[in-house]
Amino acid sequence: MIYLHMNVFRKAFLLLSLFAFLSPGCEKAADASSNPGLLLASYSSRGTSTPPVARAGGRAEVIVKSVKFLGGPRTIHHEVGPMETIYRLSRMYDVSPQSIYSANRLRPGDSLQVGQKLIIPNARMIRHVINVYRNPQWKYIIVHHTATGKGNSKIIHRAHRLRGFQHGLGYHFLIDNGTLGKGDGQIEMFPRWIHQQSGAHCKAGGMNEKAIGISLVGNFNNEKPTPNQLQSLAFLLSTLRSYYHIPAAHILRHRDVPGAQTECPGKLLPMSRLK
Ligand SMILES: [Zn+2]
């Protein structure tokens, strides 16, 4: 499901400049960087075999949900997203960290680069792996779309940096739609979530400070989200709701926030059904 094809990545790079112009997302830059032109070529995530460590919100608790059995061990080609670790990948694919290290000639402690291509040998399963942190900050959940037909964490993270979001991606989670080498319904966590930072996804109502931002890849003015995206969104909403005790009335589409002048996330996201 998360196969990496070289032609897909060539396509991804060709699309990169296009995406910069398309400016995926729906919020104006709220945390303009002093160097908004800085590209992400050099940013890296640490590759460790240890679970996520304590952040501002405390030590992470890891919630894992099996999504798909692969029907026998198989080799997966995976592109490293922002802040992914060998530990996380080992949980995602039900493979030991050691076998990922040896298949990729890595050693514990080696850095992973965003966009790095890894072989995952003998993957047995695809799972959602979600970190949650004790943090009383989160009172709402706001759902967005990227307003682009294609996308993945790397491309949208870069595009948000180019738009002046100092910490990159303005959301906390992204749900992929199966384009650009990612799985349909794959949930990606972003640095903002792992560092428990306020969002840059909904200025109206002070929501950046109190709402978890989830975005789905797609433009739901023109197309429906995929069934896998909806299933993943339902899982993520229910996980976050129960962990943070967020009432259903506090789960909003971006357009539902008083003062938000946007159509995001389009008219084809069946929000009432999800609630
Ligand atoms: Zn939005």
Domain containing residue 73: CATH number: 3.10.350
The CA 76 to ligand 1 mean position distance, Å, reads: 32
Q: How far is the CA of 225 from the centre of ligand 1 (A)?
A: 15
For the cut 50, the answer to whether the pLDDT of residue 40 exceeds it is no
175 alpha carbon to ligand 1 midpoint, in Å?
14
* Residue among 63, 158, 62 at smallest CA distance from 114: 158
Do 264 and 185 sit in the same domain of this protein?
yes
User: At which of 132, 163, 181 does a domain end?
Assistant: 132
Sign for the pseudo-dihedral over CA of 219, 222, 228, 229: positive
Question: Based on the domain organization, do 23 and 49 belong to the same domain?
Answer: no
| Cα dist from 242 to 196, 236, 250, whole Å | 18, 10, 12
The alpha carbon of 157 and the centre of ligand 1 are apart by a number of angstroms equal to: 15
Q: Does the pLDDT value for residue 2 go beyond 80?
A: no
pLDDT in tens, 41-85: 223 333 333 444 445 556 789 999 988 877 788 999 999 988 889
Q: How far apart are CA 141 and CA 152, in angstroms?
A: 21
Measured in angstroms, how far is the CA atom of residue 62 from the centroid of ligand 1?
A: 27
Does residue 163 sit within a domain?
A: yes
CATH number at residue 19: 3.40.80.10
Domain that holds residue 108: 44-132
Q: Is residue 1 part of a domain?
A: no
Residues, the chain, total?
275
Sheet hosting strand 173-177, strand order edge to edge: 184-189, 173-177, 211-216, 140-145, 251-253
Could you tell me the distance, in angstroms and rounded to a whole number, from the CA of residue 8 to the centre of ligand 1? Answer: 27
Gap from CA of 130 to ligand 1 centroid (Å): 22
Q: What is the CA(154)–ligand 1 centre distance, in A? A: 18
Q: Among the ranges 8-17, 52-61, 132-141, which has the highest mean pLDDT value?
A: 132-141
Q: Tokens representing 248?
A: 């259903």
Of all residues in the chain, what percent carry a pLDDT higher than 70?
A: 77
CB neighbourhood size of 234 (10 A): 13
Residues 264 and 128 in one domain: no
- Shared domain for 87 and 150, answered yes or no, is no
CA 207 – ligand 1 centroid, Å: 11
pLDDT given at position 124: 87
Q: How far is ligand 1, taken at its centre, from the CA of residue 211, in Å?
A: 12
C-alpha of residue 202 to centroid of ligand 1, in Å: 7
Ligand 1 centroid – CA 117 distance (Å) = 30
Most confident among 174-183, 192-201, 207-216 (mean pLDDT): 207-216
Do 200 and 170 contact (CB within 8 A), yes or no?
yes
Task: For residue 60, report the distance from its CA to the centre of ligand 1, in Å.
Answer: 27
pLDDT at 145 over 70: yes
Is the pLDDT confidence value at 155 over 70?
A: yes
Q: How many CA atoms lie within 13 A of 7 on its CB side?
A: 0
Considering the domain boundaries, does residue 123 fall inside one?
Answer: yes
Q: Say how many domains are in the chain.
A: 2
Q: Are residues 112 and 69 in the same domain?
A: yes
Confidence band, pLDDT 50/70/90 cuts, at residue 18 = very low
- Give the distance (Å) from ligand 1 centre to CA of residue 226: 18
Q: Looking at the structure, do residues 219 and 103 belong to the same domain, yes or no?
A: no
Residue 227 within any structural domain of the chain = yes
Cα(263) to centroid(ligand 1), Å? 8
Q: Considering only residues 175 and 27, tell me which one the structure prediction assigns the higher pLDDT.
A: 175
- Asked if residue 192 is part of any domain, the answer here is yes
